[in-house]
Amino acid sequence: MIINKSIKPAQGRLGVLVVGVGGAVSTTLITGVLTIRKGFKKPVGSITQMATMRMQDGEEKRIKDIVPLAELDDIVFGGWDLFPENAYDAALYAEVLKEKDLNLVKDELQSISPMTAAFDHNFAKRLNGTHVKQCATRWDMVEQLREDIRSFKVANHCDRVVVLWAASTEIYLPMSEEHMTLAALEKAMKENNTAVIAPSMCYAYAAIAEGAPFVMGAPNLCVDIPAMWEFAKQMNVPIAGKDFKSGQTLMKTVLAPMFKTRMLGVSGWFSTNILGNRDGEVLDQPENFKTKEVSKLSVIDNILEPEKFPDLYGDVYHKVRINYYPPRKDNKEAWDNIDIFGWMGYPMEIKVNFLCRDSILAAPIALDLVLFSDLAHRAGMCGIQTWLSFFCKSPMHDLEHQPVHDLFTQWRMVKETIRNMVGETAPSYLD
């Protein structure tokens, strides 16, 4: 990743095209941005809007005052969905936000209607979309999506576009030969090899082909393959992901570094969730849960480094469960039981019960990933944006490197990248 210190200004309108624009996370994101820019709400949880960092001269500045981020007033929302309802009706159905808050921007929400989605029922069998494209091949799917991006950009007078995946988790898809080179990927798309080309890959390919940064907010394989890395570099486009780090995994990336820093041992970590929204329904399908499970399980080993500290972490039993429970809707509840041990091997237990609102936590993450991806593009950065690992449950990385999961190390990566963009160095003390 090469950082160009000559950053193009954020001039004109930024189109944000969301895959799953009628979903709980998407409608929460859109409603939040619309109400914030009208002064009704504050951007709580957003790094780009509220966070500060100390500069070389010791001055504390907001990140948005250090680098030229797109203004919220310049964002235009659109996207695709399996269901035809406008953003207002979809938000009512999601039941994340209260109707009185939706009504603050009702007209604007009602004006956002989805384009037909590129969908394959085999990749999300719990969903039965009625608002989908008819595509002869995966390549045809890509071409239709590219036309959607171009049409939206023209119709809404956008200077730039970012494509954000905020749709459901697809079935688990292992990396195959068709994913190793761009030529092999394109051949598989044209030959309509639906077994190895997920719909999310078509969205990502279409975005990159149109010069739009792509953000993967689910644990799908998608851009996490060499073919997409090759294409992103060829087109000089940033790609980021994957899986919004919003709830239980966020807690793990805080607690696990504490255990390691204190040299406390861990013998077991049991995690379970109940969730009732559409995402919970999709994850109730074993093939789709497998994708999420792989994402969530990777965190602990990476942070604790059992190969380096076998006496402390060499035999950790790590279990993750997600249970679909419709009455809870978007208000996810996560339980963690952590069995640790200390001096002379004496055992202790930590219990965490996190009653969180999934979309409330994910919406500002989605906003930050969009704005930072747009910034990266204007700064001449392309390919995997490792500095955006802070926002992701399963950070993207190439085949030669391991991802960084420690939240505090990830935060230093964000600040270091921003400093490099503006030609700053870190303060003399430990940052």
pLDDT in tens, the chain (431 residues): 344 458 999 999 999 999 999 999 999 999 999 999 999 999 999 999 999 999 888 889 999 999 999 999 999 999 999 999 999 999 999 999 999 999 999 999 999 999 999 999 999 988 888 999 999 999 999 999 999 999 999 999 999 999 999 999 999 999 999 999 999 999 999 999 999 999 999 999 999 999 999 999 999 999 999 999 999 999 999 999 999 998 888 999 999 999 999 999 999 999 999 988 777 777 778 777 676 667 666 788 889 999 999 999 999 999 999 898 999 888 889 999 999 999 999 999 999 999 999 999 999 999 999 999 999 999 999 999 999 999 999 999 888 888 999 999 999 999 999 999 999 887 765 55
Classify domain 248-355 at the CATH class level.
Answer: alpha beta
CATH topology of domain 13-244+359-421: Rossmann fold (3.40.50)
Q: What is this structure's pTM? A: 0.93
Asked, colleague to colleague, whether 13-244+359-421 and 248-355 share their fold, the answer is no
Domain ranges of the chain: 13-244+359-421, 248-355
Three-state secondary structure readout of the chain: CCCCCCCCCCCCEEEEEEECCCCHHHHHHHHHHHHHHCCCCCCCCCHHHHCEEECCCCCEEEHHHHCCCCCHHHEEEEEEECCCCCHHHHHHHHCCCCHHHHHHHHHHHHCCCCEEECCCHHHCCCCCCCCECCCCCHHHHHHHHHHHHHHHHHHCCEEEEEEEECCCCCCCCCCCHHHCCHHHHHHHHHCCCCCCCCHHHHHHHHHHHCCCCEEECCCCCCCCCHHHHHHHHHCCCEEEECCECCCHHHHHHHHHHHHHHCCCEEEEEEEEEEECCHHHHHHCCHHHHHHHHHHHHHHHHHHHCCCCCHHHHCCCEEEEEEEECHHHCCCCEEEEEEEEECHHHCEEEEEEEEECCHHHHHHHHHHHHHHHHHHHHHCCCCEECHHHHHHECCCCCCCCCCCCCCHHHHHHHHHHHHHHHCCCCCCCCCC
